[in-house]
């Protein structure tokens, strides 16, 4: 299986991408097509000793910068590494595309090059979150800011297929992010979505509160992209703040400084557990192919994990299963009474 | 100054309320009227040695349970401790009301008994958050789920007056919670609110991302009650999860167990810093009086801090300053072009 990797998009240049691809080729039985400026990639590969025959380079003359808008990418950057990497999937030369670059550029490339899955109104980005009991999926975390109840229902269907694949569970627990567990709690959109989900064939466990997201109550947490993105960034903010305050507290007492070497390893383990970069990236669901979006700061290990996820999702034909579910729902919609 | 305390509403019964009131009377030069079942309160006061002459009891025959809806409270619980405590403010017998009970019951009591401030369309709950540099205010965190841009503008005005009081700053930095720093980022409501705030006389610093909330970029963070509540609960979830994982990690290695006693004190300090219960409760802004809502799990110390906050806000006449600002804004609204 071949995976197309946008090797130019990350914050730290091509090196983590090339190293991640080397590890993936060695450990995961995949071929990786590094897409980007040929001269740069050849030079970096030589420098890093990337001589593995399972790596190849595909030239792309343009690069998308982090600040560029999706609209500008669609208009002017059709020779960029992300766009050309996505075209490799479209033309069957690769089974999936992985990018640590500009999220909007990944979205717009997949939207235009691969196209929306038939019946899907909006694609969604599904991220993985660490929980007390393992891992949960949250979607959408940023592709769509103003969503209808119908959009949330589709996110639930897409998240469900992704959850089945990721957790190897036949019926992942699907929850709706809201402000109370009771059916009646929420804003207008979530209350309407609650009815649709309750009437669906999903294993819908009802509303989940923000507090429960990290306790592992649900396998799949559904929300609109505005709230999902705020929730994700708030989580990072809290984790970052706690870390800084903890280090400050510990180093402000001599007993703490004495203890620090002893707890350094547990702290590092904890960091790994809550570091979503380690989780293998976030797929864009609802397009005709497998697209994995990674953080711009991705390490080589994070890139390898994203390639692993891309491979698994391509093998599992997750995008085709999503299409089947969406088509079935459109053919026989949830029997929900119109709201007053 | 007299403060009315709903002494029946907390999760742990009247004891933390009575102890908090005792501490407040002693340290803060206030009188506290304990409102609730007279027999119960007399017995508990005797048991706890609460003989301070600055404490008094006002009988209320009903109690609101945590699960009761605001509508049910307004209909059937007008003899409850929270309702009667709020009436003491209305009738000038107390300068502020503090309740660790059902948030909806506090809101509905203040709404009906004190009434909305003239010009205010929706009241808002303003919570305090710990940041890397101190403390920030976020509002609304749960009073209103579906808000217009106009509502967000009013929350900003109310948060600004509260921030001036709390931080003793003439021009608190007011930010709008959104998904990107650029003016153009957000959902329909926040984009419209951005224009209103930019045209206002507030010290508006633009959009703040979730990540920045805890870094202390803004003094006042404005959002609708749905997103504010989710953000708050997500924060609690992350903090709780990190705590549990940290303890698990540390106690899973013998080096960690060895170090634990050495870092116990820093960990406790950290817990205090991020424990919003210590912060003195959250005022309901936009009503004709001072109402402070505390967490149901409030400790005696949290109750004392809430009484301190209530006293300060009553002395500062914060509710009257809010009324003045709202009236001024209505008299000369922000010159914003109609959106396309």
pLDDT in tens, A120-138: 999 999 999 888 888 999 9
Q: B152 and B267, same structural domain?
A: yes
* Interface contact B234-A242, CB threshold 8 A: no
| The pLDDT of residue A340 | 43
* Interface contact B235-A263, CB threshold 8 A: no
Across the range A78-94, mean pLDDT stands at 97
Q: Which of B236, B258, B282 is the last residue of a domain?
A: B282
The two tokens of residue A228 are 């999902």
| The pLDDT of residue B268 | 72
| The pLDDT of residue B340 | 43
DSSP SS3 for A140: coil
Q: B223 and B307, same structural domain?
A: no
pLDDT at A75 over 60: yes
How far, in Å, CA of A190 to CA of A196, rounded?
A: 10
* Range list of β-strands (E), chain A: 2-6, 31-36, 55-59, 96-99, 124-130, 135-139, 174-178, 204-209, 220-222, 282-285, 290-293
Q: Which residues of A touch B233 (CB under 8 A)?
A: 179, 209-211
Q: Which of A67-81, A195-209, B146-160, B250-264 has the lowest mean pLDDT?
A: B250-264
Q: For A190-208, what is each residue's pLDDT tens digit?
A: 999 999 999 999 999 999 9
Q: A146 and A108, same structural domain?
A: no
Query: pLDDT band at residue A319, thresholds of 50, 70 and 90?
Result: very high
The two tokens of residue A132 are 């007390």
Q: How far is B252 from chain A (nearest CA, A)?
A: 8
HEC secondary structure over chain B: CEEEEECCCCCCCCHHHHHHHHHHHHHHCCEEEEEECHHHHHHHHHHHCCCCCCEEEEECCECCCCCCCHHHHHHHCCCEHHHHHHHHHHCCCCCEEEECCCHHHHHHHHHHHHCECCCCCCCEEEEEEECCCCEEEEECCCCCCCCCHHHHHHHHHHHHHHHHHHHCCCCCCEEEEECCCCCCCCCHHHHHHHHHHHCCCCCEEEEEEHHHHCCCCCCEEECCHHHHHHHHHHHHHHHHHHHHHHHHHHHCCHHHHHHHHHHHHHHHHHHHHHCHHHHCCEEEECECCCEEECCCCCCHHHHHHHHHHHHHHHHCCHHHHHHHHHHHHHHCCCCCCCCC
Q: For A157-183, what is each residue's pLDDT tens digit?
A: 999 999 999 999 999 999 999 998 788
Q: B250 and B112, same structural domain?
A: no
Q: B82 and B58, same structural domain?
A: yes
Q: Which of B92-101, B127-136, B212-221, B326-335 has the lowest mean pLDDT?
A: B326-335
Q: A216 and A190, same structural domain?
A: yes
Domain containing residue A54:
1-120+286-340
Q: A328 and A271, same structural domain?
A: no
Q: B58 and B28, same structural domain?
A: yes
What's the mean pLDDT when you consider all of chain B? 91
Across the range B318-326, mean pLDDT stands at 95
Q: A293 and A251, same structural domain?
A: no
Inter-chain contacts counted by CB atoms under 8 A, chains A and B? 188
pLDDT at A89 over 80: yes
| The pLDDT of residue B27 | 96
Q: Which of A268-282, B12-26, B146-160, B299-313 has the lowest mean pLDDT?
A: A268-282
Q: Which of B262, B282, B302 is the last residue of a domain?
A: B282
Q: B216 and B254, same structural domain?
A: yes
Q: Which of B264, B282, B300 is the last residue of a domain?
A: B282
Residue in chain A closest to B234 (alpha carbons) equals: A210
Q: Which residues pair with B32 in a beta bridge?
A: B3, B55
Instruction: Report the CATH number at residue B47.
Output: 3.40.718.10
Q: B198 and B113, same structural domain?
A: no
**Domain tally, chain B:** 2
Cβ within 8 Å of A, B 182-221: 186-188, 190, 209-215
Cβ within 8 Å of B, A 245-264: 245-246, 249-250, 252-253, 255-256, 258-260, 262-263
Query: pLDDT band at residue A264, thresholds of 50, 70 and 90?
Result: confident
Q: B221 and B184, same structural domain?
A: yes
Q: Which residues pair with A116 in a beta bridge?
A: A287
pLDDT at A282 over 90: yes
ipTM of predicted complex: 0.87
């Amino acid at each position: 299986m071949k995976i197309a990797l946008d090797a130019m998009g990350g914050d730290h240049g091509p090196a983590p991408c090339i190293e991640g691809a080397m590890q993936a080729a060695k450990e995961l039985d995949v071929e990786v097509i590094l897409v980007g400026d040929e001269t740069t990639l050849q030079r970096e590969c030589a420098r890093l000793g990337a001589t593995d025959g399972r790596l190849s380079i595909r030239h792309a003359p343009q690069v998308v910068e982090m600040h560029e808008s999706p609209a500008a990418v669609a208009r002017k950057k059709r020779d960029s590494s992300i766009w050309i990497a996505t075209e490799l999937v479209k033309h069957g030369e690769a089974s999936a595309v992985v990018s640590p670059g500009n999220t909007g550029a990944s979205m717009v490339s997949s939207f235009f090059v691969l196209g929306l899955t038939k019946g899907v109104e909006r694609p969604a980005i599904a991220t993985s979150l660490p929980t007390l009991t393992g891992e949960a999926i949250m979607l959408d975390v940023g592709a769509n800011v103003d969503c209808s109840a119908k959009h949330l229902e589709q996110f639930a269907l897409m998240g469900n297929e992704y959850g089945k694949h990721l957790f190897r569970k036949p019926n992942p627990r699907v929850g709706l992010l809201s402000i109370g567990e009771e059916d009646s709690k929420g804003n207008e959109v979530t209350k309407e979505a609650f009815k649709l989900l309750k009437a669906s064939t999903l294993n819908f466990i009802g509303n989940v509160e923000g507090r429960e997201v990290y306790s592992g109550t649900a396998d799949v947490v559904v929300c609109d992209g505005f709230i999902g993105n705020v929730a994700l960034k708030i989580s990072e903010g809290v984790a970052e703040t706690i870390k800084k305050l903890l280090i400050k507290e510990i180093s402000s007492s001599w007993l703490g400084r004495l203890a620090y070497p002893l707890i350094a390893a547990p702290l590092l383990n904890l960091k790994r557990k809550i570091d979503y970069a380690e989780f293998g990236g976030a797929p864009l669901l609802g397009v005709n192919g497998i697209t994995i979006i990674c953080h711009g700061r991705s390490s080589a290990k994070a890139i390898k994990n994203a390639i692993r996820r891309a491979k698994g999702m391509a093998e599992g034909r997750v995008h085709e299963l999503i299409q089947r579910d969406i088509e079935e729902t459109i053919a026989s919609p949830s029997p929900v009474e119109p709201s007053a």
